[in-house]
Amino acid sequence: MAKRVLVSGGAGYIGSHVTVELINAGYEVVVADNMSNCDMTCFEGVKKITGRDDIPFFEIDCCDYEAVEKLFAENSIDAVIHFAAYKAVGESVAQPIKYYRNNLVSFLNILEVAKAKGGCNVLFSSSATVYGEAENLPVTEQTPRLPATSPYGNTKQMCEDILRDSVAAYDGVKGIALRYFNPIGAHPSALIGELPRGVPNNLVPFITQTAIGKRKQLSVFGNDYDTHDGTGVRDYIHVVDLAKGHVAAVKYATATLGCDVFNLGTGTGYSVLDMVKAFETANNIPVPYEIAPRRPGDIDECYADPTRAYEILGWKAEYGIEDMCRDANNWQSKNPNGFEA
């Protein structure tokens, strides 16, 4: 079994939840982060939740090859989960070079060091965005990827391809791409969660900020989509379930050869208005909203077929939509100012 796992981007939203679940499952974890999109709140929270004050933390940028090389050399890493990447779709359209340079170079460095040390299990944090507007739902791992509609989405596709080709070429390098649907919520302790900078792009952080009065109202982007109530449908997954999916994938990676890909979703789609309702019910707080124009690039509907992850990894999501909304609200209530605190 892989004993020591490097979590790159481990001080961020998903990385911090994955660090907790890896430690709960008995792994040693080394965290690396360049702190470009987080502060130490979540890393401190991870230490509190796990009762571990000794988790090695390195403030490095994975775009710095020498730093990555040194990190591997000094920590005998058995597996890497690579989160360290930029993730704002709109910003990637405005600043494509920034996205291509950061997201590709950091991943190439990880793979190059993995190859140089004679092998490693490399898990890549991919996204359901690679499917685009799929013709048939739910999407399985066999659903064809469609041309990316943003540089961000393109970096996800390119990194998946780079991983596949590297695994084919280099002995001992094994890889898994995990395609996330829409991770939301926070650890039930409310010690770690998402801290978006500025105005949130994603639905649930916008809802939670509206619920605490930080935003006047939610803009529902379009009510003329081809869905049950006209608003966009997505597969929201509790970030703790998502994190447990990573633990299952690390276990599997050590026991198998080659390159693989798994959807991490629940299999159920909820519309924007379903989410508003679920949030209001779970927290007993009204969420004022208005119907606004569609957001460019959005699709009607996307949800996963998570069967493969269940059959092969033995993993499936356990939390329901109201759990997600409750935990998102608890976290937001305890951290009303996020980075601005």
Q: Is position 201 an interface residue for ligand UD1 (rule: CB under 6 A)?
A: yes
φ/ψ (deg, to 5) at 35: 65, 25
Q: Which is nearer to ligand UD1, 143 or 182 (CB)?
A: 182
Strand-pair partners of 259 = 175
Q: Is position 287 an interface residue for ligand UD1 (rule: CB under 6 A)?
A: no
Span of 37-45, 67-75, 198-206, 256-264 interacting with ligand UD1 by CB under 6 A: 198-206
Q: Is position 31 an interface residue for ligand UD1 (rule: CB under 6 A)?
A: no
Q: Is position 223 an interface residue for ligand UD1 (rule: CB under 6 A)?
A: no
152 catalytically annotated: yes
Q: Which is nearer to ligand UD1, 57 or 107 (CB)?
A: 107
State both tokens at 187.
Answer: 């650890």
CB 88 within 8 A of CB 152: yes
Helices 13-24 & 239-255 angle (0-180, nearest 10):
60
Considering the complex, what minimum distance in angstroms separates the CB of residue 295 from ligand UD1? 5
CB 220 within 8 A of CB 293: no
Q: Which is nearer to ligand UD1, 189 or 201 (CB)?
A: 201
**Cβ count within 10 A of residue 20:** 27
**Cα separation, 302 vs 176, whole angstroms:** 22
Span of 38-46, 70-78, 215-223, 311-319 interacting with ligand UD1 by CB under 6 A: 215-223
With contacts defined by CB under 6 A, how many residues of the chain interact with ligand UD1?
19
Q: Is position 240 an interface residue for ligand UD1 (rule: CB under 6 A)?
A: no
**Cα separation, 217 vs 49, whole angstroms:** 33
The edge-to-edge listing of strands for the beta sheet with 4-8 is: 57-58, 28-32, 4-8, 79-82, 120-127, 173-180, 259-264
State both tokens at 281.
Answer: 């019910």
State both tokens at 131.
Answer: 């499917």
Q: Is position 321 an interface residue for ligand UD1 (rule: CB under 6 A)?
A: no
Considering the complex, what minimum distance in angstroms separates the CB of residue 338 from ligand UD1? 16
Q: Which is nearer to ligand UD1, 89 or 243 (CB)?
A: 89
User: Of these, 295, 311, 314, 322, which contacts ligand UD1 (CB under 6 A)?
Assistant: 295
For the segment 124-143, give every residue that binds ligand UD1 (CB under 6 A): 127, 129
CB 183 within 8 A of CB 14: yes
- String of contacts with ligand UD1 for each residue 75-94, x by CB under 6 A: --------------x-----
Look at strands 173-180 and 259-264 and give their pairing: parallel
Q: Which is nearer to ligand UD1, 112 or 323 (CB)?
A: 323
CB 246 within 8 A of CB 139: no
- Prior bond to 138 cis, omega within 30? yes
Span of 134-142, 214-222, 304-312, 330-338 interacting with ligand UD1 by CB under 6 A: 214-222
Give catalytic residue positions: 152
Residues that bind ligand UD1 (CB under 6 A): 89, 127, 129, 153, 182, 201-203, 206, 218-221, 232, 234, 272, 295, 297-298
